[in-house]
Amino acid sequence: MSKYFNPYTDFGFKKLFGTELNKDLLISFLNALFEKNPEIPHDEITDITYLNSEQLGRTAADRKAIFDVYCTTKSGNRFIVEMQNVFQQFFKDRSVYYSSFPIRDMAKKDKEGERWNYELQAVYTVGILNFVFKDNEKKDEKGEVLNEFSDDDLLHIVMLTDRITGKVFYNKLVYFYLEMPKFKKTREELVTMYDKWLFVLKNLSKLMERPKELQEAVFRRVFEIAEISMMSAVEHLEYEESLNALWDITNAMEDSEKKGFFKGKEEGEKIGMEKGEKIGMEKGFEKGRADAMREMARTLKSIGKMTIDEIADTTGLPVDEIKTL
């Protein structure tokens, strides 16, 4: 039994970073992220205000966005902070789409005799990912994915850049993506607040006590908040449901990927005999992955803990197709 909750669960993540009572934890984490990357223009965060995490489109027909955590600083900069446990086919697209909501919300209506000059505050998206982007995976000569990671390249910072000059074209729209499986530092190697925060997020549910390397007051609060035995009966029930949902979705993804891999390999070998090995294998894997996504969609529907739209985001399948499965 774990002594501390899993911060990768919806309950644990929002308890740490999404409540007014614990906003000092989010402030500490974000400042640590900027301290690690001083080249990114920013002001030190001293206070935040949580905003409505459900963002509606301009019309009833528009797709809405639901953030894990959405907040603004004193200077008006906006932060979207999200935990993503499983890879989604169009995750990058969704990330960019979500960032459009705070940009839109900063638009000012023209007043009589006064026009808005289009000045925007910065928008930062922070994605804490429990997976590695497919295009960042390391593979051997046979194309098999290697479980070899380095925490030196776990953070990806994305900005609008001029391809010719290499200079940043616009510095007020920044995406931070943390590929957490790559973080391998032990407690003895923790020096910066950035490393300490990543260690906590990666290992909190596996620890039985607060390590001596995490003596800062903010981490003392983290371990107090995360202790399962101190939860109320209602909180305990909410956490158990959140943990079960995480397990269900993770298992569904793993099972579907395995089925897709083996089915794709089998199909690829069959097509490869007919149309050439390389093209055949590629087509086979494509078909296998599509079948795997349908299998995953069926599983997620049967679990009943995700909406049709969320399943579509996860699998990349059209909503209409998911409804018929």
**Residue 224 vs residue 291, higher pLDDT:** 224
- Evaluate the CA torsion angle 156, 162, 167, 168 in order and state its sign: negative
Distance CA 101, CA 172 (A): 14
Average pLDDT over residues 51-55: 80
Cβ(157)–Cβ(176) below 8 Å: yes
Give 314's pLDDT tier (boundaries 50, 70, 90). confident
The burial class, CB within 10 Å (0-12 / 13-18 / 19+), for 291 is middle
Question: Could you give the 3-state DSSP secondary structure of residue 175?
Answer: strand
The answer to whether 21 and 224 are in contact (CB under 8 A) is no
pTM of the model: 0.78
The whole-angstrom separation of Cα 239 and Cα 70 is 21
Domain check: are 201 and 103 in the same one? yes
Q: Which of 202, 230, 258 is the last residue of a domain?
A: 230
Residue ending a domain, choose from 191, 210, 230: 230
Indicate whether 176 and 309 sit together in one domain: no
Domain residue limits at 24: 1-230
Pair (162, 302) in one structural domain: no
- Residue 27, pLDDT above cutoff 80: yes
Q: pLDDT grade, residue 59 (50/70/90)?
A: low
Number of domain units in the chain: 2
Cβ-based neighbours of 176, under 8 Å, separated by 6 or more: 33, 124, 125, 126, 127, 155, 156, 157
CA-based torsion, 257, 263, 269, 275: positive or negative: negative
